[in-house]
Structure 1
Amino acid sequence: MPPGWPEQVRPPGAPDWERSAVTWLFDLVPPDYRAHEVLRRYPVLLARMAADHVGAGLEAARAGWRTVRVELADHLPPEAVEAAVAAYEREGARLASAARGVSVVAGALRGEVWVPRL
C-alpha cells in the first residue's frame, strides 16, 4: 500500500474496498454530508469534499496553534494555554495524517495504481 494509506480502508481491488473508502471518507466530513446521495454515487467527489474539509481543519489548527498564546494569555492560566497548544498540535498531526490518507485514497478511486520504488 502507498505510504499514508488509512488502515480502515481495504486495499484497492479487495472486495468492498470502495465501500470501506466511502465509509472512511464520510467519517472525515460533517455528518450532514451523508444526506447527499451524489456523494455516495460518486466517491471521487466525496474524496474531493473530504480533502477540502480536512484541509480547512488543518489550516484552522495551524492558525490556532500560532495565535492561541497571544490571544488568550490574558484570559487563561498558563497551564491552560499550554494544554491548548498541545491540543492544537495533536489535532494538527491527526488532520495531516488524514489529509495524506485522503490523497492516496482519492488517487486509487481515480484509478491510479501505486508502484513501490526501490
Structure 2
Amino acid sequence: MYVPPEWPHEVRPPDSPDWELSAMAWLLDAVPPDYRAYGVLRRHPIALARMAGHHVRASIQAAREGYRGAAVDLKDHLPPHAVEAVLEAYRSEGPRLVRLAQAVDLVERALRGERFTEKLRH
C-alpha cells in the first residue's frame, strides 16, 4: 500500500497487520506522557490522533512565540552565544514540529479511512 513520503517510518502502512497499534504507539510518543493515563485514547485511536494534532500545533505556535521573544527576554540573563544557541534550538525545533504535525495529520486521515494514492509527477 502506498503511503506519502511524510508518513512516519515508525507506523506501519494502513491495512497491514497491527498498523493501528503501531500508529497508537507512535502517537503516544508525540504527546505528553500523561496522555497515556486516558483509556479512551487507547480505545479510540482517532481521538488520540486528534488530540495529538492539537498538541503538536500548539507546540508549533509556542515555538514561534518563543523564538520571536527569546533574544529580548534572555539578553539580560544569558551571554550572547547562549542566546544564539537558544535561537538555533528554536530554528531546529520548529521544522521538526511542522514535520511531526504533517505526519500526525496523515495518520489521522488514515485512521478515518482515507487511502493515499501516489501522484504522478511531470
**When the two structures are superposed, what TM-score results if normalisation uses the length of structure 1?**
0.96
Moved over 6 A (4+): none
Shift of 1:3: 3.1
Question: Are 1:39 and 2:41 an aligned pair?
Answer: yes
How big is each residue's C-alpha offset from its partner over 1:44-73, in whole Å with a ceiling of 9 and x where there is no partner?
Answer: 000000001111111111111111111211
Shift of 1:117: 1.4
RMSD: 0.8
In the TM superposition, 1:1-118 aligns within 5 A as 1-118=3-120
Tell me the distance in 2 between the aligned counterparts of 1:12 and 1:2: 12
Q: CA deviation at 1:116?
A: 1.3
What is the CA distance between 1:35 and its match in structure 2? 1.0
How much does 1:32 deviate? 1.1
Gaps of 5+ in 2: none
Give the structure-2-normalised TM-score. Answer: 0.93
Partners of 1:114 and 1:104 in 2: how far apart? 9
Percent identity, aligned pairs only? 58
> What count of residue pairs does the alignment treat as equivalent?
118
Per-residue CA deviations over 1:23-48 (Å, capped at 9, x if unaligned) read 00000111111111110111000000
Alpha-carbon distance in 2 for matches of 1:60, 1:3: 26
Q: Distance in 1 between matches of 2:15 and 2:51?
A: 23
